[in-house]
């Protein structure tokens, strides 16, 4: 039996320089794609965090109105950019809810969101015969979204709608 020589010069053994470079280019391209996906994921995470916080602010106001549903119409026209105009003598609970929600939206955690504004529209709905006494509540939240890296801030909006039935 003859022993084979491991130092063959043909294309049967080992990698050539070109193959090694090609493998390096493919690996580098994959790593760059992963880095790009990471930055996109971080941007989406920030956007998701903003939307979650704003949705919680809107849901908070709807819950306040549901708790005081007999006087739901008193909440109509609330705007966090202006002072509460609800009569404190006639509707003390609605006035307190308005002031608390306005403070919550304009201060605290909301300060990181640019120009956060909350608006409430309450209207009576349903047919008149028989009267269902339902109330439609629409809470609209608008803000300037995070600009991110070299991007322009965009206006964003969340709208929550609820139909309240009488107790």
DSSP assignment of 72-116: GGGGTT-BTTS---S-TTT-HHHHHHHHHHHHHHHSGGGGGSEEE
The DSSP call for residue 139 is: E
Residues 6+ apart with CB under 8 A from 46: 146, 148
Number of other residues whose CB lies within 10 A of the CB of residue 145: 18
Element (H, E) at 46: helix 17-67
Q: At 129, is the pLDDT very low, low, confident or very high (cuts 50, 70, 90)?
A: very low
State pLDDT tens for residues 11-70: 556 668 888 888 899 999 999 988 888 888 877 777 888 889 899 999 999 999 999 988
Cα Dmax for the chain: 110
Tokens of 160: 């929550």
State pLDDT tens for residues 131-149: 577 889 999 999 887 665 5
Average pLDDT, the chain: 82
From CA 63, how far away is CA 43, in angstroms rounded? 30
Confidence at residue 85, expressed as pLDDT on a 0 to 100 scale:
87
Mean of pLDDT values over 113-123: 87
Nearest Cα neighbor of 55 from 136, 118, 147, 111 is: 118
More confident residue, 151 or 90: 90
From CA 49, how far away is CA 16, in angstroms rounded? 50
Confidence at residue 138, expressed as pLDDT on a 0 to 100 scale:
94
Answer yes or no: is pLDDT of 101 > 50. Answer: yes
């Amino acid at each position: 039996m003859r022993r084979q020589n491991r130092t063959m010069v043909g294309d049967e053994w080992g990698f050539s320089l070109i193959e090694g470079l090609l493998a390096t280019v493919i690996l580098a391209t994959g790593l760059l794609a992963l880095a790009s996906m990471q930055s996109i994921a971080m941007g989406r995470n920030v956007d998701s965090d903003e939307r979650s916080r704003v949705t919680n602010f809107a849901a908070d106001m709807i819950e306040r109105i549901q708790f005081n549903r007999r006087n739901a119409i008193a909440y109509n026209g609330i705007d966090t950019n202006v002072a509460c105009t609800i009569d404190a003598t006639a509707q003390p609970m609605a006035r307190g809810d308005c002031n608390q929600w306005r403070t919550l939206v304009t201060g605290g955690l909301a300060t990181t969101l640019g120009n956060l504004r909350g608006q409430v529209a309450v209207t009576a709905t349903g047919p008149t015969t028989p009267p269902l006494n339902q109330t439609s509540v629409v809470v609209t939240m608008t803000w300037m979204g995070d600009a991110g890296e070299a991007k322009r801030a965009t206006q964003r909006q969340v709208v929550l709608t609820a139909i309240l039935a009488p107790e």
